[in-house]
Amino acid sequence: MKLNLRVSWKVLVVVAAALFLALLLCGLTFHAPKYRIARIRVVDATGRPIPDAKVKPESLITKPDQRVEGNWGWNDSVPNDPVSTDKDGYARVPYSHYIFEKIETGSIQLSISHPDYVFDQVERVVSDAPLDRARWRVWLEYFWGRIKQKKFVVRPDPVVLQRGAILKLVVRPDSLGPRNTPLFAQITFGPGRADPETNFWTRPGSGVLMTRRLWGGPCSLRAIRFDSQGWAWFGDVIQVQMVSGQTNEVVVDLKRGVALRGQLDASTPRPIANGRVIVDAWPVGGNPYGPEWHAWRTIAQDGTFIIGSVPEGELEIVAQCDGFISASGPGNPKIRHPQKHFVGTNGLTINIGMEQAARLEVHVTDDKGKPLKDAHVKTRSNNLNGRFSAVVRAADLYNTADLVLSKVSAWAVYGEFSVVDFEDTTDSSGLAILPSLPADVTSFYVDHPQFELPKVTNFFSPTARGITYVTPKFNLVVGTTNRVSVQLVPRGPSPFSHH
């Protein structure tokens, strides 16, 4: 009996297409890129491309309609170094498909910099596709919509940079202060305006500072100069209405910064260990958008400190040492505030009121109840500063003087801060010690490569992993050692996702 081996050409086409699709899927699976690429285009107001603009990725934003929404930090697995635009104005910006676990990226936030244009920060959509686990009908409608619109890939809207206002800052020839050192300036804008970069100035002459990259509109500025001993001299804070495309010349006088001296009150036993004091000076009148002068110093064992070259104005101060924290200043009692003072032309001597802190010992075990080593336990306590923003207390250990002099990166200054009093890593017995906590701390986080806090869901925070959800709430008692235990579970395989 003969076998009929004749096969319809239509069947062969279908089989070949299926094999091709299978090979394509295998290739995508085994050769998928580590991260995705967004093509960001930068143009001027006329639509012409701007080459050599620096595009820096800053944060990731979730897709809409998810259980977890908002702006998140950059995924450490993907580089976020500045990327330059090519001759056509395009920059290839890598980003992660998942922000964390299975939470997908929808938009990215970027900062854009170019020597001839105003510094800007923007948000751009990089993926408008349905969520990975969306139903097949949703995906079908999405692809059909793209076919009808003839838009087969996401093209983020171009970033349009603007020509800036020109500022010429000049020190009056008969002004007091140093003569042969560089001139610097601080500039701030009202709400919604980003502070400009610290490296956009030119110095066409001695005692002259100039830029072409300022936003049009009102701004506050202050001239600064350092003498040969490193002491800062300040100009008055001036309000200026900047006009794009026009030169705005401002003439200033300089005054020597004042010294700030002080000590911790007598309730804090000596010798002082691990002491530091942080101050913020604001322009007189409480202008929340005026230039801020920030400084910190260590506190001597006898409880004294000296901070040099602070400008006149309204002062906020925070102090911390082993076992003690500065008492909260005036304001809403539901959140801690710095203590407040006024700095005049003769400087100031301060006695900082202190109060006892609480010591917290956290015992961490695995799912079998055995002590877990190398678990990172971390909490935080915030202060509400003069700009009405929450700041992790005793974490902002930087000096504006260093930032002005470009001795430290602005990205490092405004990055994630840590406080030795508020975090620790468990030892072989599973013990972590947080030595000096304010009484308002009621929760903490635990991170470990193989273990995590149990996942919980509640109405307010669907992905919360706070200890208040896995153990009873605790109230710290100051002046004593408080003890809490927490049990972790193995990581995965059920990461957070959208469904």
Provide the pLDDT for residue 498.
46
- Residue 390: pLDDT band by 50, 70, 90 thresholds? confident
Q: Which residue has the higher pLDDT, 404 or 70?
A: 404
Asked whether residue 363 carries a pLDDT value surpassing 50, the answer given is yes
Give the rounded percent of residues in the chain with a pLDDT score beyond 90.
Answer: 44
Q: Which residue has the higher pLDDT, 492 or 372?
A: 372
Q: May I ask the CATH class of domain 36-160? A: mainly beta
**With 0-12 CB in 10 A as exposed, 13-18 as middle and 19+ as buried, what is 413?**
middle
- CATH for 259-356, options being 2.60.40.1120, 3.30.70.1170, 2.130.10.10, 3.30.70.890: 2.60.40.1120
Q: Which residue has the higher pLDDT, 88 or 201?
A: 88
Provide the pLDDT for residue 190.
59
- Residue 397: pLDDT band by 50, 70, 90 thresholds? confident
CATH tag, 166-256: 2.60.40.1120
Provide the pLDDT for residue 249.
92
CA distances to 37, 97, 433 from 33, rounded to whole Å, are 9, 10, 42
Q: How far apart are CA 480 and CA 435, in angstroms?
A: 10
Rounded mean pLDDT of the chain? Answer: 82
Q: Give backbone dihedrals phi and psi of 412, rounded to 5 degrees, phi first.
A: -70, -40
Provide the pLDDT for residue 30.
45
Question: In this structure, which amino acid lies at residue 317?
Answer: I
Give whichever of 16-30, 135-149, 210-224 has the largest mean pLDDT: 210-224
Provide the pLDDT for residue 312.
92
Give the rounded percent of residues in the chain with a pLDDT score beyond 70.
Answer: 78
Contact 283, 290 (CB under 8 A): yes
Contact 39, 97 (CB under 8 A): no
Q: Which residue has the higher pLDDT, 162 or 301?
A: 301
Mean pLDDT on 12-18? 58
Give whichever of 147-161, 176-190, 455-469 has the largest mean pLDDT: 176-190
Asked whether residue 51 carries a pLDDT value surpassing 90, the answer given is yes
List every span in the chain annotated with CATH 2.60.40.1120.
Answer: 36-160, 166-256, 259-356, 359-380+419-490
- Residue 66: pLDDT band by 50, 70, 90 thresholds? low
- Fold held by 359-380+419-490: Immunoglobulin-like (2.60.40)
